[in-house]
Structure 1
Amino acid sequence: MPALVLLGAQWGDEGKGKATDLLGGSVDYVVRYQGGNNAGHTVVVGDQKYALHLLPSGILSPGCTPVIGNGVVVDPSVLFSELNGLNDRGVDTSKLLISGNAHIITPYNVTVDKVTERFLGKRKIGTTGRGIGPTYADKINRVGIRIQDLYDESILTQKVEAALDGKNQLLTKVFNRRAIEVGQVVEELLSYADRLKPYVADTVLVLNQALEQDKVVLFEGGQGTLLDIDHGTYPFVTSSNPTAGGACTGAGVGPTKISRVIGILKAYTTRVGSGPFPTELFDEDGDALRRIGGERGVTTGRDRRCGWFDAVIARYATRVNGLTDFFLTKLDVLTGWEQIPVCVAYEIDGERVEELPYSQTDFHHAKPVYEYLPGWSEDITKAKSFSDLPKNAQDYVKALEEMSGAPISAIGVGPGRDETIEINSFL
């Protein structure tokens, strides 16, 4: 069963879009299995740069069928905007499939997200304000709106009424906002139905049949391991499961069909939003990583917090995802440092800890324990093989591989599709 999961092994923004795009020419289906338009991918093809937020990266590969699975939450207005942008640039988007069981981000979900974050003030989670969390909450509370509901106006109206019964109480009595009209929401959602219909499919059936026919299916996670609702730095996490297990529930395939799990690992560490970050830098090194690496969120536009590589969270990602190998990205960004610190453990209350603490309190108090590896000054962006890298760059990669607990199969030495060193084939 040639099914692969590709996911972020840190806090997201590791370069998953590039990795998926590289594989796109060799796979038959690329599937987004969780998250929504809070997950941004940047893909560089030649001199063209594409910023994708909701669509699977495989939409840029002509022979590939891109799929939005049942575990994704979909804002139709964002979806159409993204499709229009790609169509205007000559990209064929007609093969896209969307699960009828995927939940819709409604206008009231976005409103609730924004007013709640504002209300929390300094205790805010750091959401993107795009309605992701409230939509997943509606799903769990069984008052969510699914794409298939757009094709039965009676059911849609009943579901919107049920959802707004409670939300309007919250908006008017707690947040002092105007109540949202049922009819207005229903009218807006129905306006999307005709354009969505050609894309809607039973994607669970499609993907399982594809696997039975020995098609290659790539499951693409948004965000990253440390943002997983169950296994991340809770409560500063996303509202879904970007970890490997999420591919099974978010796409409807059994775990026995997954043959490989690839973790995308940046050569340093970044995160967007609030929450603990042991190796975060507040000095010139942090500013340099941000500037050289172009560390600005694709979706949010916010500057990313930057820090040195954290081997503790890399080992954790290997464990909770069952990673078979890593794709190391942005190695070129580290060119020019005389020494490069790597976090190999934490110090918590005077004790050395080499695995991620399960306690939120302990993780908040974790201080990085660094080892210092020699840097390099040579330009590595033209390297085509591992042997082309300077010795110190090779040693850095080998050290990260040993510390992280899984082999590194590919290395990104620049943003372009062709600026990649492949050590072991992914397929």
Structure 2
Amino acid sequence: MPAIVLVGAQWGDEGKGKATDLLGKDVDYVVKFNGGNNAGHTVVIGGEKYALHLLPSGILTPGVTPMIGNGVVVDLEVLFHELEALAARGVDVAKLRISANAHLIPSYNRILDKVTERFLGKRRLGTTGRGIGPTYADKMNRVGLRVQDLFDESILRQKVEAALEVKNHLLVKIYNRRAIEAEEVVQELLQYAERVRPMVADCGLELHQALEDGKTVLFEAGQATMLDVDHGTYPFVTSSSATAAGACTGSGIGPTQIDRVVAVFKAYTTRVGEGPFPTELHDEFGERLRANGFEFGTTTGRPRRCGWADTVVGRYSTRINGVTDYVVTKLDVLTGFETIPVCVAYDVQGERFEEMPSHQSDMHHAVPIYEDLPGWSEDITGCRTFDDLPQNAQRYLLRMEELLGARISVIGVGPGRDEVITRYSLLGDDE
């Protein structure tokens, strides 16, 4: 049975939660392998919206074991707030597993994240201020706190004291803030120790055994390809590995165990925060996409920047992730546009780029080269097969498939759980 990686192919907010939910009935585990509560998934089930930030989307599907891998950074306050909110709505959250090696987001990193962004001014990165970046920096600097540290108070205290030796100098001398007491942080974290203990596991071993036993595992990326710390539009990226390769390092399984890579590509493009965005629209069309697609952040509520589909980004995602299947979401949002431009290449100071520029400055100066495709006016939310779609919607998807370089297997035609068209199985069992 397969191990499937699900990634975002753009700058996030593509609808990965819906794609995970669609696969839910066919998988045994859903693993979040990177990121933290700095991004969210919205899943609509039976007309009800569920906004998830830290938890894997699979937690909404009965019978699935949801797992938070070692590559995730965990804010314990957010974790239990989300669990309590879901339990209050009748969702069974008892099967959640959390890697003992996942790093914790202490309160001092949330403070540092916010004051650093303010200090940067015009050079700010547009972070969510939730302590994600500073926590990943601590991980690489080997001064981070892990979930397993909660169960050894002496080790926890030593690590907090060591981290604050440097951070307090920054807070007091650079940012003019008060110093943070180590004991205050220790007690804040210890209050969650016994609550989280039953959830903690050796996730890599458990996943290996599950795959050996013929179970199906879905690895769910937070953020997206263009926000990957190595392969995204650096420095306007997240702090973790959001591409398919991150599934291995962020969960503890080997690369030869991955069978399929499913990428989610919105029928147009959005991003939040700062950074280059070649197809961004600053006109009525951009406003229309934002309004029709309700493009506001699940986690922050920030309005998203909107633009036409960018297949230069798409081809890059296909290559970087080794995509086998695409899920195209929000096709219904394009209904009513007489003409739908699709970016097929960039013009960078007179030079044509059909592939992603390798230099940051070229990406900043990229001007989209569009191919105009005819739009459609028919309501497509009731379509359940490819042939049900208007001819121009079919042409749009077939051209996108050519430009992306991988098959489009699933098409989202509305926000509901059942508002999808399945052309091919994402499990690959139709090949």
Q: Could you say which TM-score interval applies, normalised by the shorter chain?
A: over 0.9
Structure 2 counterpart of 1:192 = 192
Shift of 1:343: 0.4
TM-score, normalised via structure 2 length: 0.99
Structure 1: unaligned runs, 5 residues or longer: none
Q: 1:47 & 1:314 partners in 2: Cα distance? A: 31
2:150 aligns with 150
Residue in structure 1 matched with residue 385 of structure 2 by the alignment: 385
Deviations 1:64-116 (A, max 9, x none): 00000000000000000000100000000000000010000000010000000
The Cα offsets for residues 220-259 of structure 1, whole Å up to 9 and x where unpaired, read as 0011100000000000000000100000000000000000
Following superposition of structure 1 onto structure 2, how do residues 169-248 of structure 1 map, counting pairs within 5 Å?
A: 169-248=169-248
Matched, 1:352 2:355: no
Deviation at 1:278, TM superposition (A): 0.2
Output one character per residue of 1:244-295: Cα deviation in whole Å (capped at 9) or x when no partner: 0000000000000000000000000000100000000000000000000000
- Match for residue 127 of structure 2? 127
Q: Does 1:164 align with 2:168?
A: no
CA distance in 2, matches of 1:361, 1:426: 37
Amino acid at match of 2:222: G
Give the structure-1-normalised TM-score: 1.00
> 1:292 corresponds to which residue?
292
Q: Distance in 2 between matches of 1:55 and 1:2?
A: 22
**1:367-382 aligned within 5 A:** 367-382=367-382
> Which amino acid in structure 2 is aligned with residue 268 of structure 1?
Y
Alignment of 1:26-425 (within 5 A): 26-425=26-425
Instruction: Give the Cα–Cα distance (whole angstroms) in 2 for the partners of residues 156 and 32 of structure 1.
Output: 25
Distance 1:322 1:381 in 2: 30
Letter matched to residue 131 of structure 2: G
* Distance in 1 of aligned mates of 2:236 and 2:77: 27
Deviation at 1:318, TM superposition (A): 0.2
Give the distance between the partners of 1:327 and 1:353, measured in 2 at CA: 25
Aligned-partner residue type, residue 202 of structure 1: D
User: In 2, distance between residues paired with 1:346 and 1:320?
Assistant: 19
1:300 CA displacement? 1.1
Cα displacement (A) at 1:42: 0.2
Distance 1:263 1:146 in 2: 30
SS of residue paired to 1:49:
strand
Q: Deviations over 1:154-174 (max 9, x none)?
A: 000000011001000000000
Measured in 2, the distance between the counterparts of 1:353 and 1:61 equals: 43
Distance 1:35 1:145 in 2: 16
- Is the aligned partner of 1:16 residue 2:16? yes
Local SS of the residue matching 1:251: coil
Q: Which stretches in structure 2 are left out of the alignment for 5+ residues?
A: none
Structure 1 residue 39: Cα displacement:
1.6
The aligned amino acid for 1:298 is T
CA deviations on 1:313-365 (whole Å, 9 max, x unpaired) are 00000000000010000000000000000000000011111010010000000
Amino acid at match of 1:362: D
SS at match of 1:101: coil
**Runs of 4+ deviating beyond 3 Å:** none
User: What code does the residue aligned with 2:74 have?
Assistant: V
Deviation at residue 414 of structure 1 after TM alignment: 0.2
Structure 2 Cα separation of the partners of residues 162 and 215 of structure 1: 42
- Residue identity matched to 1:214: G
SS at 1:77's partner residue? helix
One-letter amino acid of the counterpart of residue 368, structure 1: P
Between the aligned partners of 1:182 and 1:38, the Cα distance in structure 2 is: 25
Residue type of the alignment partner of 2:262: I
Q: Distance in 1 between matches of 2:240 and 2:426?
A: 26
| In structure 2, C-alpha distance between the alignment counterparts of 1:169 and 1:192, rounded to whole Å | 28
Secondary structure of the structure 2 residue equivalent to 1:10: coil
- 1:191, distance to aligned residue in structure 2 (A): 0.5
Q: 2:113 & 2:402 partners in 1: Cα distance?
A: 41
Render the CA deviation track for 1:119-149: whole Å, top value 9, x for unaligned.
0001100000000000000000000000000
In 1, the alpha carbon distance for the partners of 2:361 and 2:407 equals 32
Question: How many corresponding residue pairs?
Answer: 427
Shift of 1:215: 0.3
The letter for the 2-side match of 1:347 is D
Q: Letter of the aligned partner of 2:254 in structure 1?
A: G
1:158 is paired with a residue of what secondary structure?
Answer: helix
SS of equivalent residue, structure 2 residue 342: strand
Q: Distance in 1 between matches of 2:192 and 2:121?
A: 34
